[in-house]
Amino acid sequence: MQVVVDMEAEPATVTLEDPADCGRFHVATRGGGDAGTLDVALRADAVGSVDGDGEAVVHVEAVRRLAGGSVGEAWEGEFTAMLDYARSKGWLSDDGASIRAHVEWG
């Protein structure tokens, strides 16, 4: 799955594409912009923020909200497994509330 931020929209829009694919997770941008613009867009939609290293920090509950209505019953278990994997790699915050994600600029 990927969090997609359309930076050309006014205001920028944030959507979740391929929510059923719990085997990958990243933030992808469309259009121009920089880390500051991305940070504003993620914060405006209560999805997350950009950290000091230029990586995205995405709220777990925002992913659940964005996936709502477009995934099956098994998704929660698959998403939990993805979070467990992220924790094993150090990509999940200590409190489990956010996931660190690579940003693909496009």
Rounded to the nearest integer, the mean pLDDT of the chain is 96
DSSP secondary structure, the chain, as one string: -EEEEETTSSS-EEEEESTT-TT--EEEEESS--HHHHHHHHHHTTSEEE-TTS-EEEEHHHHHHHHTTSS-TTHHHHHHHHHHHHHHHT-B-TTSSEEEE-EE--
The predicted structure's pLDDT at residue 80: 97
Q: What is the pTM of this model?
A: 0.95
Q: Region 84-106: what's the mean pLDDT?
A: 97
The predicted structure's pLDDT at residue 100: 97
Q: Region 46-66: what's the mean pLDDT?
A: 96
The predicted structure's pLDDT at residue 32: 83
